[in-house]
Structure 1
């Protein structure tokens, strides 16, 4: 019982912190674009977002397929779980360009080279779209928790 509780708490805290982090990254990117921000704020928020995404993946995988919660069969036959996983994959796909660019920024800053900020507006929008997708994942999760079956 305590393990179930711990896994659920870690998962939910990662959702909350991850939502904050991706929104903070978007705001920091906008500020960088208008000259009022700094790359360090973007990279800190991005680090938190990355850790939360990994935590969500691991804790969610353990909860769904590790013999906890409702069991693997329930999740594999639950349409809202498929929706939630589709949203997660969309987030991962949207994340590719910002992730690659921010890795390049980290390497450039470590070498003392200027970073390319041409796409900060796009990456801010992507961050905010990802935040919306996280919220939609929460909506799907609440339906799953209550056994809602679509279709």
Structure 2
């Protein structure tokens, strides 16, 4: 029981960290787009966002399919779980372009050259949309935790 509780706590804390990190990345990218910032805050926030997303993924999989949650059958039959997964997949799809570009930024900086930051404003907007989707994911999760059915709405 303690492991279930701790895993749930880590999962919830990862949501908070993810929202904070992706918003920080979006803000840093916005400053960069206005020529008021540098790559370092963007990359630090991006790293934090990546770690939080990984923790969310691992703890979520453990809770849904590893025997630490309400059981696989519960999750697979719960429409709000399907909504959560759709939101998570949307977040991941939105992440593809910024992730690949920021990897290129890291490579360029490692080689001592300046990265192409021309899409910083686009990546800032993507980050803010991802933060909104994370909040919606938490809303769906809280409904699941309380046994809310879409039929009740």
TM-score, length-scaled by structure 1? 0.98
Structure 1 distance, partners of 2:56, 2:39, is 26
Q: Which runs of 4+ in 1 moved over 4 A?
A: none
- The yes-or-no answer on 1:39 pairing with 2:39 is yes
Structure 2 distance, partners of 1:142, 1:109, is 41
TM-score, length-scaled by structure 2? 0.97
Structure 1 distance, partners of 2:111, 2:67, is 47
Give the aligned partner of residue 148 of structure 1.
Answer: 148
Runs of 5+ in structure 1 lacking a partner? none
Structure 1 distance, partners of 2:34, 2:118, is 11
Secondary structure in structure 1 of the residue aligned to 2:150: coil
Runs of 5+ in structure 2 lacking a partner? none
Secondary structure in structure 2 of the residue aligned to 1:5: helix
Question: CA RMSD of the aligned region, Å?
Answer: 0.6
Structure 2 distance, partners of 1:76, 1:33, is 42
Give the aligned partner of residue 20 of structure 2.
Answer: 20
